Amino acid sequence: MTENKPQNFEAIVSDKYFLTDNEKFVYIKFELVKPDRIQFLAGQYVSIKINATGERRSYSIASTPDDNHGFHLIVEVVGEGKGANYFRRLQIGDRVSILAPLGNFTVAQCHGDTESHKLLFVATGSGIVPLWSMINDLLVNYKDQRQIRLHWGMRSEEDLFFIDDLQRLSDEYPNFVFDIVLSKPGSEWELCSGHVQDCLQRDFVNGLSEWEVYVCGKQQVVIDIIQTLKELNAKEEWIYHEKFT
């Protein structure tokens, strides 16, 4: 994998829609105008100028690198922050200024025997976005045969999205398994509940010494997850993380 230097782009919003009925997560597609091609690695992010004074917000790319005419974002629009309000107002056809690609949270090169080497992805909330890009890139574009597992923690059923897409990936690629963890599930929820760490301890009683792990979420949650991973004997040098602020 080669490193691509960040550059300035102009892009147009080509599509925008909410992923959840509670309008908490919005999916936005951008078509590049100038330059009209981008090279990035799954897991990287873009920086978008949100006002005339030059303030910026950073968001992980949800699409995969083979779609080089543009990029997709998933934005959590809660509260009255400048970033959330900017994306609420953003309309199809609007032009945006971005700097990309940025970040080093990407899948590392294989460490030896790929048959025994396994990949675990752990996300909470919108931390799923870069992991979604990574997992799709590995399975669909690279046909990666390693065991790949995702643990994704959310608050409730109303916040969930991509479930059908994750199930399709799991059906098509038997080496991929995903687990959804809800901290505040409804009474009919039958899968794992609580914190992601609880379900990691449940599912990896034999430890994580053979797993390379990628973690993404809010800062304190990532710190707590990494502590659990170490308790499960994950190799510290095989733990990669991105902390959202």
pLDDT at 48 over 90: yes
Average pLDDT over residues 115-131: 91
pLDDT for res 1: 45
What is the per-residue pLDDT for 116? 56
**Residue 244 binned pLDDT confidence (cut-offs 50, 70, 90):** confident
The secondary element (H helix, E strand) that includes residue 87 is helix 82-89
Closest CA to 51 of 6, 102, 87, 2: 87
With a cut of 70, say whether residue 106 has pLDDT above it: yes
Residue-range domains of the chain with CATH? 7-102 (2.40.30.10), 118-244 (3.40.50.80)
C-alpha 240/C-alpha 232 separation (Å) is 15
CB atoms within 10 A of CB 78: 12
228: CB partners within 8 A, 6+ apart: 197, 200, 201
Mean pLDDT throughout 57-78?
A: 96
**The predicted structure's pLDDT at residue 110:** 53
Of 156, 142, 48, the residue nearest 102 (C-alpha): 48
pLDDT number for residue 113: 45
The dihedral region occupied by 210, where left means phi > 0, alpha psi between -120 and 50, and beta the remainder, is alpha
pLDDT band at 111 (very low <50, low <70, confident <90, very high): very low
